[in-house]
Amino acid sequence: MQLLKEKTNFNFMAKRKLAALFSVLLIIASIGSLISQGLNFGIDFTGGTMIEVAYQEEANLDNIREVLANDGFNDVLVQNFGSIHEVLIRLPIIESQNMAELSNLVVASLQANNETEIDVRRVEFVGPQVGEELTEQGGLAMLYALIGILIYVSFRFEYRFAIGSVMALVHDVLITLGFFSIFQLQFDLTVLAAILAVIGYSLNDTIVVFDRIRETFLRMRKGSSEEIVNLALNDTLSRTLMTSVTTMLVVLSLFLFGGEVIHAFAIALMLGIVVGTYSSIYIASNTVLSMGVSKADLMPVEKDDSDIGEDGAQV
């Protein structure tokens, strides 16, 4: 199945310098925001209290938020959890209060403003030390993923392709983190999982493009490197768009109908799909082309005649 019925002939690489400048500006803005205001970490990283309660009737989230705000509980995250009757309440750490007592006060506040009895399902406390360890381990997980990808692509293709793929992945991760920093969207473990998924998605798209670039280099006798890369990108464009559009439809459905609990997760994936598709064309391929890849670099290594024995067997 193809999204584009006719063969395209877009000159992608003609705009590669402009695209590189655009990406540099986005990365500078992302790094600047990360340095100046950082990420809005959720309690998975900062620590806090999670309270899960169940109502006999449908829970009115707006009313719950209003009740808690009126009783002095600010910066509280209220969302459905599992069903329309169950509510998950997340409270940041308040150093002046005992968290166990604080959870009792929250439940008492909700019960005082509700006619039917509220069932407390669970109360969990995440300490700041645990949050700090999660932050460190999450960062290491992304670093290890990038190192593994660098090694894999070096063996699969050629070192220029490995550098191009890692450049594209770093580009995708920085822009996604920058987006969450600029708009101060909550960054929790689900968003970290989404970023790791974006790394895998972007790498898959990049490998397909690289495979076609290598194939086109070996197939074409004439043509400049820029022309060959353009041809390879046009050959994979239909497949790239089909994958991106179908994945985007699924993630958009999660965003619209999945509830507030996975909004940040869905936003990270949607942004990652767009940026990952863009980086496969204008970052990964652009990097490989800028490093001077040629047909000679992709030719298989010829066997040395000295390695052949007198009986014709390879030594």
Highest mean pLDDT of the ranges 97-106, 166-175, 254-263:
166-175
pLDDT of 183: 92
**Hey, where are the domains in the chain?**
12-39+130-296, 48-126
Between 218 and 94, the more confident residue is 218
Average pLDDT, the chain: 82
CA distances from 303 to 217, 295, 300, 306, 315 (A): 21, 18, 9, 9, 11
Provide the whole-model pTM. 0.78
Give the helix/strand (H/E) hosting 77. Answer: strand 77-81
pLDDT tens for each residue of 59-87: 888 888 888 888 888 778 788 777 788 88
Q: What is the CATH number of domain 48-126?
A: 3.30.70.2040
Q: What is the Cα–Cα distance from 175 to 277, expressed in whole angstroms? A: 13
Q: What is the Cα–Cα distance from 65 to 90, expressed in whole angstroms? A: 11
DSSP assignment of 4-26, as one string?
-SSPP---GGGGHHHHHHHHHHH
pLDDT of 28: 96
What's the pLDDT band for 315 if we cut at 50, 70, 90? very low
Q: Is pLDDT at 268 greater than 90 in this prediction? A: yes
Highest mean pLDDT of the ranges 9-18, 23-32, 123-132:
23-32
CA trace torsion 22, 24, 30, 31 (10° rounding) = -170
Between 4 and 91, the more confident residue is 91
Q: Is pLDDT at 213 greater than 50 in this prediction? A: yes
Q: Is pLDDT at 313 greater than 50 in this prediction? A: no
Give CA angle at 299 (294, 305), nearest 5°.
140
Q: Is pLDDT at 308 greater than 60 in this prediction? A: no
Give the helix/strand (H/E) hosting 265. Answer: helix 263-279
Q: Is pLDDT at 235 greater than 50 in this prediction? A: yes
* CATH class belonging to 12-39+130-296: mainly alpha
